[in-house]
Amino acid sequence: DSWKWGLTSVGYTVASARQFIDDTSLPEMWSSLGRWYSLVIPECSSIHEWFSWIDAAHMPKRPKIILEGVTSIMLWSIWNFRNSWVFSDRKLKKANVWDLFVHQSYLWISSRNPKFSIRWIDWIKNPTETLM
């Protein structure tokens, strides 16, 4: 028995797994985040660049803080997806990553900010409108 990695001719590397997931998931996730948050999100080449863009974005303080937290949860969701593909027998499905992310972000914001009393149906429509 042997393991076979079909994405490269050299064999498995973390870089090839990361590149595959980045190429197939990240652009889709960023554009989904932009549509969900009603934002035009620029292409950022690093986390530092992303958070610099958030700092400079013209939006009220509360939605900006929430966007920072939501982004962190999205990055964690992608990292968790990568790890399940690389290390786990139980693979997360790419189609479920967005739904899991939205659910986790709702749990985070509703538990961190009990004064907001955010309804699930409002959260999944548009978190920006929920927080105004």
- Tens-place pLDDT, residues 62-74: 888 888 888 889 8
- Whole-number average pLDDT of the chain: 79
Residues 21-44 have a mean pLDDT of 75
Structure tokens, 106 = 């709702």
Which pLDDT value is given to residue 111? 83
CB 63 within 8 A of CB 77: no
In this predicted structure, the answer to whether residue 131 has a pLDDT above a threshold of 70 is no
- Percent over 90 (pLDDT), the chain: 3
Which pLDDT value is given to residue 104? 92
